[in-house]
């Protein structure tokens, strides 16, 4: 599954050129000197991005590097317009952003199922000679050529859409928590970077309500500079409404670890600090009541909660806090 998750790809696109207008003059048996009746050329095909909630990855575009739309057909006699060039639709996951490959400029963003946006416009069809007839010029013998095609390189990148994003150092217990609160089955092991791609899970809440949680690869100090899995995963956090920080109870200093996480997010994008935050101290089954009281004195942040994915303690309370935050 992990090798199938592609959140970044580069594609070359060429739209269709417009068909040329027709310079035809009407010639019939009893109309030896008919006027102009040349039709317009058809427009060239567009390259269009279309949102699909069935897709979670850009892998289907990774090996389709060159994408060409159809050319418009020329106009013809009897003022017939040429056929339009074939549009090419590229289905992409929700949360896909298209950028210009050279400048990095953001061109468009797809966030809704079925949403369609033109990435590259086809050339307009040329006007037929019928448009150029005037009182002085009764039989124009010329028409307009179609507009040329456009071509360019684009970068498509995916930012996972989720309500709650899990933020923590490697081995903070993010994958374990996701496997407990949802049907997602992320790979879990006791070494850093088990999670190489974001995993999504639907968390069932009371009265048939639910929300989406994303387990994002662990942060290490220097992630904003691209260390570890760096920028690649920080991008996904931008899309989450609530950030759930996980710090294990056996951490040397809970608040220090929390500050490391905050610091990395701030250096990457200050706007992330405006999001709602919840702190969960994981592996709480290792603590007795006395230790919990001692730790509570250190925590300078609310709301926080002690949880254990192993025993299940605190999990329902965590869902309550998250649901409240999501609906503030």
pLDDT tens per residue across span 204-237: 888 878 888 877 765 554 544 544 444 555 666 7
pLDDT score of 116:
97
pLDDT score of 12:
97
| pLDDT over 80 (residue 191) | no
| pLDDT over 60 (residue 31) | yes
| pLDDT over 90 (residue 293) | no
Task: Give 273's DSSP letter.
Answer: G
Q: What is the pTM of this model?
A: 0.66
CATH number of 1-158: 2.70.210.12
Give the mean pLDDT of 256-260. 87
pLDDT tens, residue by residue, 126-178: 999 999 999 888 889 999 999 999 999 999 998 776 788 888 887 777 778 88
| pLDDT over 90 (residue 309) | no
SS3 assignment, position 80 = strand
Q: Which residues pair with 203 in a beta bridge?
A: 182, 211
Give the mean pLDDT of 120-126. 97
SS3 assignment, position 137 = coil
Q: Where are the domains positioned within the chain?
A: 1-158, 164-326
| pLDDT over 90 (residue 195) | no
Class for the domain spanning 164-326: alpha beta
Give the mean pLDDT of 37-53. 95
| pLDDT over 90 (residue 119) | yes
pLDDT score of 6:
76
| Residue 179, φ and ψ in degrees, nearest 5 | -70, -25
Q: For residues 72 and 124, give the distance between their C-alpha atoms in angstroms, rounded to a whole number.
A: 8
- Is residue 67 a contact partner of residue 84, using CB atoms and an 8 Å limit? no
pLDDT tens, residue by residue, 54-81: 887 888 898 888 999 999 999 999 999 9
pLDDT score of 24:
92
pLDDT score of 5:
65
Mean of the per-residue pLDDT values of the chain? 83
**97 against 195, higher pLDDT:** 97
**272 against 217, higher pLDDT:** 272
Which strands form 66-68's sheet, in the order they lie side by side? 66-68, 8-14, 151-158, 96-100, 106-110
Q: For residues 246 and 66, give the distance between their C-alpha atoms in angstroms, rounded to a whole number.
A: 42
């Amino acid at each position: 599954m992990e090798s199938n998750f592609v959140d970044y790809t580069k594609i070359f696109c060429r739209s269709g050129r417009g068909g040329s207008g027709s310079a035809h003059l009407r010639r019939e048996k009893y109309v030896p000197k008919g006027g102009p009746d040349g039709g317009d050329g058809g427009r060239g095909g567009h390259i269009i991005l279309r949102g699909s909630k069935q897709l979670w990855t850009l892998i289907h575009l990774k090996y389709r590097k060159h994408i060409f739309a159809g050319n418009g057909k020329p106009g013809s006699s009897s003022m017939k317009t040429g056929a339009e060039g074939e549009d090419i639709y590229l289905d992409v996951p929700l949360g896909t952003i298209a950028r210009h490959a050279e400048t990095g400029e953001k061109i468009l963003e797809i966030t809704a199922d079925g949403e369609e946006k033109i990435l590259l416009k086809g050339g307009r069809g040329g006007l037929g000679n019928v448009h150029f007839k005037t009182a002085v010029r009764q039989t124009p013998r010329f028409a307009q050529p179609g507009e040329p095609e456009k071509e360019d390189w684009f970068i498509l990148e995916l930012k996972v859409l989720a309500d709650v994003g899990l933020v923590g150092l490697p081995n903070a217990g993010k994958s374990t928590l996701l496997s407990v609160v949802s049907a997602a089955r992320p790979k879990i092991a006791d070494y850093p970077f088990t999670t190489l791609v974001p995993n999504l899970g639907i968390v069932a809440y009371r009265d048939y309500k639910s929300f989406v949680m994303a387990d994002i690869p662990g942060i290490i100090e220097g992630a904003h500079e691209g260390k570890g899995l760096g920028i690649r995963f920080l991008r996904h956090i931008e899309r989450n409404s609530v950030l759930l920080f996980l710090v294990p109870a056996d951490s040397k200093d809970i608040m220090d670890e929390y500050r490391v996480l905050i610091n990395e997010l701030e250096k990457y994008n200050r706007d992330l600090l405006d999001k709602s935050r919840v702190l969960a101290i994981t592996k709480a089954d290792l603590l007795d009541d006395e230790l919990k009281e001692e730790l509570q004195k250190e925590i300078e942040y609310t709301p926080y909660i002690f949880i254990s994915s192993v025993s299940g303690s605190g999990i329902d309370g965590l869902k309550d806090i998250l649901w409240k935050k999501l609906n503030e």
